[in-house]
Amino acid sequence: MDVTLRRALVEAVGPDSFLHDGSILAPATADGVSDVLRIAEEHQLHVRLTSGAGEAVTAPNGGAILSLARLVELSVDASNGVARAEAGTTLTALAAALADAGMAVPGLVSAPGSDHVGALIARGGVPRRSLTGIEAVLPGGDLVQFGGAVLKDVVGYDIASLLLGSSGRLGAILAVHLRLVPAAAAVEVAAPAGPRDVGELTGVFDPEGILVGA
């Protein structure tokens, strides 16, 4: 990483977002993730995404790892039957919060390697019906949100379904809104379809911001 690029990233997300030798970038906010991907596109920096801390992930040649592990906000609204969890939230923390509220996510499957919410969604670990919304950053840094705190049947493109199980090939998943049911009412369902062999990786963007591999 050259001096100009490092300076731009430091100005955007702060020096505390650089971990190890600077090969891991861990912004603390959604805007920070947006800034990293925008600057990466401008400077032709390859970025590999992970919702974990990133120590076990190999950076692309000449590139960096973008960790979403600091995005850990979690809220459970049992009265309205919805939860919001950021990408770095562990599944253990999600399960504990749901248990405390007496709620469950229908069809949630903890696939091997999906230790965080971001990886779970990127790998297709919940049925589409259990996902009411996704907040994400596109390769060029644009923040987007599809759906929200309630499940609606509307006319138009179902972008949340495209991101579910996409392994980060379309964008970095920042947070998800999940439909809840009372834990006593939860029933076993078939495992949702989705990639199972990409671990915590959610993608690699090429110099133009298009994902080229995982």
Q: What is the pLDDT of residue 212?
A: 32
pLDDT at 44 over 50: yes
pLDDT at 70 over 90: yes
pTM of the model: 0.81
Is 3.30.43.10 the CATH classification of the domain at 3-69?
A: yes
DSSP, res 90: B
The domain locations on the chain are 3-69, 74-196
Structure confidence by residue, pLDDT tens digits, 113-168: 668 998 888 888 888 888 888 999 988 899 988 877 665 555 556 667 767 766 66
pLDDT at 8 over 80: yes
Helix (H) / strand (E) containing 86: strand 82-86
- H helices of the chain, in order, are 3-13, 30-42, 91-101, 117-122, 159-163
| Residue corresponding to tokens 């644009």 | 142
> Cα angle vertex 48, ends 26, 115, to 5°?
70
Q: Do domains 3-69 and 74-196 have the same CATH topology?
A: no
pLDDT band at 188 (very low <50, low <70, confident <90, very high): low
Domain boundaries 74-196, corresponding CATH code: 3.30.465.10
- More confident position, 152 or 185: 185
pLDDT at 197 over 80: no
